[in-house]
A and B are shown apart, each in its own frame.
Chain A
Amino acid sequence: MIWLQELSRVETPLITITAVIDTALCVGAGGSSASLADKSIVRNAERNLLIPASQLKGRLRHECEKIARGLGWAISESPSAEKMVIRRGNAPVGFQRSEYEVPGYGETYHCLISQIFGDPVLPSRVMFDDLICTEDPENLPEVLRPGVTINRRRRTAEEKKLYFLETSPVNAKLRFTGEIHIQPSFTLDRPDYAKAIIWAGLHHINALGGSKSAGLGWLNWELPEIKVDEDIWQFLAKGGVN
């Protein structure tokens, strides 16, 4: 029986995270042609610079997958939808374990990371917001960074390889802030490891956006302190024990 007045609001823990960009940031907006740059920067409707939630989510998932795999857990292969759905009938041995069973999803196994970030069958239990630059866009000039490819033989500029990237201002210590909402676990009988693994994953992200290897998008995180219970570490450490 469901009575509206008896329902109590499930508090979704709000975790505010801030990325402080140490260099210039270049998150390209696909299909955009409003600027002179070959790769223009992505902005929201208010013209604020932002790091899209989809990028943060994808990148964080990748880091969390690496950590979990390192701990010996079998992890499904994202982002390919077909490879992420593990049917119980033909599941690889590594996936056939009770930790990968989710109530209400009797036909499929879901790896530890899919139980947080979702897969084509299971909805995501974490909601990400875009990380939005808190600086007024009026104060941020458009920065175009020219680049040119060098012909290796002649050591001169290669023909037709001059390009312009739009970036955020260099060394401006821009702060990009957003929130992560972590909803309750699907499996209440197991320790909720989501927060711990997301924290660990965030610390592995040192750069975001394009041209990371060329020095763009390097950042520091400002994260609130969290406390992780011992039983969560114990649970995560069981990865290799099947």
Chain B
Amino acid sequence: MKRIELEIKALSPLAIARQKPGGSVSEVENYIPGSVIRGAIAAQILKESGHQSTNLAENDDDFQALFLGDEPAIFQNAYPATLEIKGKLVPIERMGEIMVLPATTLSSKTDSGFTTQQGHGVFDTLIDRLCAESYGYPYDPNCPVDGGRVDTVDFSFYSKFNDKYYKHSVNKRLLTRVGINRRRATAEEQILYSIEVLNESQQQKEKPVIYKSSILVADNLADSLRDFIDVRRQDFRLGGSTSRGLGKVEIDAKIPVDAKSNIEDKVTKFNKEIRKRWDEWGDVFGKIELLNQTYFTLDLQSDAIFTEQWRRTTVISESMLKYFACVEDSFLKLEAAYSSYDYRSGWNSAWGLMKDVELVTNKGGVYLFSTTQPDKWFEALGNLEVRGVGDRTCEGFGQVQICNEFHLVFREEPA
């Protein structure tokens, strides 16, 4: 598979609705979901081909391969990528990947945030919790700066630049609109509404708002899809109210590269750190031998939809992981799971109908597994990082990262 990186620059406000208007305010997501990008590209292809109302499922063509086949292209979520340090914008290409903070991270309740941005620091608790539980002690950390209370972090996206961590966020505002009664030239009854939107940047301005995403696509289609997007870079409109000036974007599609990931190094580094930390706990509480197991984590980088025995779940069990990765391993054990849930729906313009309401596992979820047969897993986990886990992965759901390196940020040296 090839990866086409996308840089999406917002040229007008984006109305990416979180829930369809039932009330008078429609909330906005703080990122652009993969399904929105996928829908915009599919709509553009259909419009240009003139096949908007024909059955495309049976044709053996590019559209079928991209959207309807057994292994469709994967449109990942676009996360905010604008980073300003001391009043200067960091070039996108020098910035690391935009990632989602694991659910196990904590920060000061009163001064939350990275040390680079006037916070008291963010640290991860996954490994310490594992050690504490194994040693039989409660784990109750406090703020490393003032000893105050700690809480989960109130933002999700971060990146690493010059070995330092920075948070990424978006600004929102509320647009209020009213329908005018044509006869009386006053506000029409019941047509007052507010749309929450993501702020935009205008062309030629110094502070662009950019979102980064990727499309993972079969090797033979990568170049033609990239060319298709590149030629129409300003033709796409994302989100709602597009005929009323919202959703205008410019998409910059990069040259396709191989989508590969080196899992073994990450897992080795993660395990080395666990052993080191285990020994440090042992020095204080009396040593217990750590079993000869290899640990690895699955960190959800986007919301995911999981089903087990036809029922919705928010935990990846051992059998689910074995099924996702197509690996037989009777020694696989789920050590810990940290996840929460939410509901998602959406609008499918091809059907002209609302999508089903799904129970999703929130991004940031962490699943810690251990096994005594790690060699079986390295390649399979690499594939999972590319393909994702759970349902509707082609719409950006279920993106995972193996052994996110933020798990190695401890309380003594918060990021």
Contacts and interface: CB of A to CB of B under 8 A. Distances in A.
Do A and B truly interact? Answer: yes
Interface of A: 1-5, 7-10, 12, 29-31, 44-46, 48, 52-54, 57-58, 62, 65, 77-80, 104, 117-118, 123-124, 126-130, 132, 178
Contacts of A48: 202
Interface string B233-272: 0010100011111101000000000000000000000000
Nearest to A31: B176
Return the 4 tightest CB-CB contacts between A and B, nearest first: A53-B245, A30-B176, A124-B243, A45-B199
B172 to A, nearest CB: 10
B57 interface: no
A80 B235 contact: no
B290 interface: no
Contact of B224 (A4, A10, A44, A130): A4
Given A45-B171, A126-B243, A7 B228 contact: yes
Contact of B221 (A4, A124, A178): A4
Given A2-B49, A2-B61, A9-B232, A62 B182 contact: yes
Interface in B214-239: 221, 224-225, 227-228, 231-232, 235, 237
B contact face: mostly helix, strand, loop, or mixed? mixed
A54 B45 contact: no
Contacts of A118: 243
B201 interface: yes
A190 B160 CA distance: 57
Contacts of A57: 243-245
Given A4-B224, A31-B194, A9 B173 contact: no
B288 interface: no
A129 B243 contact: no
B350 interface: no
14 contacts: A1-B61, A2-B46, A4-B225, A12-B235, A29-B176, A30-B194, A46-B201, A46-B205, A80-B191, A124-B243, A127-B242, A127-B243, A130-B245, A178-B245
B388 to A, nearest CB: 23
B201 A45 contact: yes
A9 B244 contact: no
Nearest to B226: A4
Interface string B49-80: 10111001001111100000000000000000
B227 A5 contact: yes
Contact of B174 (A31, A117, A127): A31
Contacts of A117: 243
| Interface secondary structure of A, over-half rule | loop
B405 interface: no
Residue among B173, B182, B209 with most chain A CB within 10 A: B182
Interface residues of B, number: 53
A48 B61 CA distance: 46
B200 interface: yes
B173 A45 contact: yes
Nearest to B63: A2
Contacts of B228: 4, 7
Nearest to A121: B352
A52 B246 CA distance: 10
B201 A4 contact: no
B62 A123 contact: no
A97 B373 CA distance: 73
Contacts of B235: 9, 12
A8 B173 contact: no
B202 A78 contact: no
A52 B245 contact: yes
Contacts of A123: 243
B202 A9 contact: no
Nearest to A42: B175
B63 to A, nearest CB: 4
A129 B13 contact: no
B224 A53 contact: no
B178 interface: yes
B51 A128 contact: no
A29 B221 CA distance: 46
B282 interface: no
A62 B60 CA distance: 46
B312 interface: no
Contacts of A4: 45, 62, 221, 224-225, 227-228
B243 A2 contact: no
B180 interface: yes
Contacts of B209: 45
Contact of A129 (B49, B194, B245): B245
Given A3-B61, A104-B53, A129-B248, A8 B48 contact: yes
A31 B178 CA distance: 12
Given A9-B48, A129-B245, 20 more contacts: A2-B61, A3-B62, A4-B45, A4-B225, A5-B227, A7-B48, A9-B231, A30-B177, A31-B194, A45-B171, A45-B199, A52-B175, A52-B177, A65-B182, A77-B182, A79-B191, A80-B191, A123-B243, A129-B248, A132-B202
